[in-house]
Each structure stands twice: as structure tokens, then as C-alpha cells.
Amino acid sequence: MQDKWQRLKRHHNKVEHRSILTLFQGAGRAQHFSARAGEMMLDFSKTNIDEAAFGLLLELAEVSGVAAKRDAMFAGDKINVTEGRAVLHTALRAPAGVSVMLDGVDVVPEVLAIRARMAAFADDVREGRFTGQDGRITDVINIGIGGSDLGPAMATIALSPYHDGPRVHYVSNVDGAHIADTLDGLNPETTLVVVASKTFTTIETMTNANTAKTWMARVVKSPGAQFAAVSTAADKTAAYGIDPARVFGFEDWVGGRYSLWGPIGLGVMLAVGPQAFGEFLKGGRDMDERFLSEPFMRNMPVLLALVGIWHNQICGHATRAVLPYDQRLSRLPAYLQQLEMESNGKRVAMDGSDLTTASGPVVWGEPGTNGQHAFYQLIHQGTRTVPCEFMVAREGHEPDLAHMHLLLVSNCLAQSEALMRGRSLEEATAIMAKKGLTGAELDMQARHRVFPGNRPSTTLVYPKLTPFVLGQIIALYEHRVFVEGVILGINSFDQWGVELGKELALALQPILEGKEGTKGKDGSTAGLVAYLRK
């Protein structure tokens, strides 16, 4: 295994300063360094990966046991070893007739039963059979945090052309401004609140839920009658006044950041309806089947992961920019931040030993074209290389604005080309000379207009942002994270890094309230507490 890493690094050292553009001198590079999943295409030809690097990366995936670990995940093996759990979010999008066994029990019938209950409830709300105190539900507030918020919030925005149900709002931050701004202007008598917390104890979520319940209780006689819950804590939801018929649980083999496909997606289903939500599940299942069956050299999740490994662990690029040229994917970079950084932001291998290579990259981004007028300056002319992952649809949802979509696509393609091609000093000098500049002024002005180029990017093109395509995209990135985690030898499915801060926050609360002193706290924390308590 170490030999594979070393061979890749030695190869990179040989080609590090080679122009990516020169790789296109041979015929067929764009076709060879791309992959298709139905009508979706991933182009990774604008990277410095050549035939030799590609072969070594594929070998790395093979010797890492990606195929065996992939099959073990889908089979229900308890691959989350630190928590002793299976990893079966893929079962949440399994269709009828498929069996997924866990400890000798097929989990799919229960998944389908809960999905049917969700659909029945969503239809009742959307068709006016379930009402608030003053009539038909007009608004839904989903209260959660992390995986109980980022996924459904992102998907609800992404699927806005398919909204034909109540308006769905999302609250996650314990900052009172978030819940206050969301409640402002809503009618408590026609609002449904969905509380998403597996244990029904998550402090941020329950604080916001209690605030919403107090707000509703001012005018609604039985506020619990307008609450639903995504939780497994039936005793706590009952005590909260929520009818068991409106409580939807999910098992511990579904991690929060992978839970959008099940009850955590209730808000999405309320917005777009069970049928569109079903298409979303089909898209995810389509990518599952491709991940399971395609050879690695054409397997889109594997290829995207190998590009990520090349850029981060081999080339040493510490960050990755996700740049969707699709306004409705505006929350996708934030969603992928959690998916990738919580999954692969680890420092030890499966056996607890220190990693010998870097773990996952910093993931960030914004939709284009706004980013072009913000951070693209650094991407093009900064001193650090930032691999970019562009996304764009072939077709938009607004046929009468097709000219705008054409402009959007042209910007997307232009940016990836500009990152690779760059502009030399000679080219910049010629441009400025035509403007009449000479001498030292010409040289100075030209140098400011040089673009180093040779900066890598991938482009994911899809036909149109439909529920099916959104499902494909999310499953693609889920499996990409899994493959990278396997190659790095880490557990992508626990998140112990979130625990310490939570523990210290609980201990600080009584100190900030003045009930306890700051003894034992460091000088900085004690000083900040003193300032805040003034």
C-alpha cells in the first residue's frame, strides 16, 4: 500500500510543472478522462492526471479494498467500527423487491412502511385533510441541526420548481435571531412544526422547538396538535404532546449527514409531494447501482474520489472549491462541507494509529456567477492552487429565459478554461501595448494581468436539475466520500470531533449565568466570560 502512495508521489514530482494544456495534444483525452452516468457527465480532463497517474490511482483503489468494503456496506456489515454500527443509508432509497439484511432481518419492509406513513401524512397536509386551528396548513417549520437541517434545507431550495405544497422553512441555529426571523409574519394557526432530533434531546433543536411551541401556544389551544417529529424517542415526543401517528423514526444505521433519504426528508416531501420525492430516491438508487456495477475506470463516484485523492494527498492542495452554476444549488457547498469534512476530517486510521498522510480537504464554495466577483480572484491569481469542481445543467427550468442560461453556461465553461489556460506575460504585454503603454509602465501593467494557469478543475454536467438528478448528485458525493475514506483507511461514519465542544458548552452555561465561577478555566476563556457577564 505504501509503495502505491510513493509511486504516485514520485510521478507527481516528475510532472508537477507540466502544462495541463499540453495533455490535449493527443487525440481523445476529453473522452478518455470523463465518465457518464445516464445523461450526467463528469469531465476530469482539465487535471494533471495522465495515463500513468490514472493507472496508479486505479491500482490504489484496488489494493485499498474499495470493492470489498463497498459490498460490505451495502450488505449491512457493521463497517462503522467505533460505534459498532452498519451503514445503510442506501437502504432508505431501496425500492420494493430489494432485500437488505441486517443481523438476519430484512430492513427494507420497515423502510417502505415508514415511507408510506410519511407519504400519507404529507398528502393529508398538502390536500387539506390535516389542518391547523384556523384551516389549511400554509407553512411548515423544520427545526433541526446538522444533518437534520443541511440536507433537507439544501434539497428544498434545489427543488423549488417542483414546490406545490405549503411553504417550508428551516431553523437550525440556536441564535434566537434565526427562529425569531422565521416566525415573523407566520400565522401560528396555519403552521406545522416538524422537530427533527433522533433522541429529542439535541439542545439547539429543543431550545428552538420550545420557542416555537411558546409562540404557537399564545393563540393555539393545543399546540402539540400542530407538531410532528422525526425521532426515535417515542416517550419524549408523547410527553411533548405529539400524536404517535405524526412521529417518524429512523435507525442508528443511518448517520445524520446521510439521512435526507428517509424521515429527515419529510420537509422536502411536504414541499414537493411524495411522487417527486420518490423520483429523488430513484436518482439516488440509480447512482447506487452504478457504483456497485461499473468498473472503476468508468465508475463516476470512484473517479471523483481518485481525482480528490490526487489533488489533496498527492499534489498537496489543501482545499477544494465546489462551484455550482445553478442558483438552486446555492446550499450544496454547505451541505458538502458537512458530508465531506465531518466524514473524512479524521486524524487516526481504523486501528487508532496516526494517519501517515493528510486526511480530507477543506471544502467550500458558492454558486456562480456570484463567486466570479468575489473569490475567483484568488483562484486565478493567488499563490495557492485551489482545485475547482464546476457543476452546470444543460437546460434550465425557465424556457423564456434561455438566453440567460446560455450566458450562465458560457461563464462556467470559460472559467474552467481560463484556470487551465491562463495568460502569459508575453500575451499580457501584447494586450497592454495595444493600449499604447510603453517602457516600465507597460511591464508593470502587464505583470498585473498575468494568469499562471495550469490550475485543475472538474466539470459535472447534468441535463436539468430534476428530483432524479438531484438524487444522483447527492449519492455521487456520498459514495465519493466513502471511497476516499476507504483509501485513507479511516472511518467515515463517526464524528467524535463534535463532542468536546458540546461538553465544554454545557459546562460554560452555568458560568455565564453567574451560578458558577471560572476556576479551572484558562485565562482567555475566563477573561471572555468576565467581559460577557458585564
Give me Rg for the CA atoms of the chain: 25
Active-site pick, 32, 426, 441, 502? 502
Task: Tell me if residue 62 is catalytic.
Answer: no
Q: Cell 480537504 belongs to which residue?
A: 361
Residues near 475 by beta carbon (within 8 Å), at least 6 away in sequence? 93, 283, 284, 285, 286, 287, 288, 291, 301
What cell numbers appear for 93 in the block? 432509497
Q: Dihedral angle at the C-alpha atoms of 20, 414, 378, 326, nearest 10 degrees?
A: -120
Report which of 117, 133, 132, 475 is spatially closest to residue 266, judged by C-alpha positions: 117
Which position among 204, 251, 279, 342 bears the catalytic label?
342
Dihedral Cα 118, 119, 120, 121, nearest 10 deg: 50
Cis peptide leading into residue 182 (ω within 30°):
no
Angle between helices 203-217 and 176-183 (to 10 degrees): 30
Residue 362 grid coordinates? 477543506
Please, which residues bridge with residue 323 across strands? 390
* 204 tagged catalytic: no
Active site residue 12: no
CA-to-CA dists, residue 283 to 108, 338, 386, 426, angstroms: 18, 21, 30, 48
Q: Residues 221, 373, 403, 515: which is the catalytic one?
A: 373
Q: What are the C-alpha distances in Å from 268 to residues 120, 133, 253, 328, 435?
A: 14, 23, 21, 14, 55
Phi, psi torsion values for 294, nearest 5 degrees:
-75, 140
Catalytic residues: 342, 373, 502
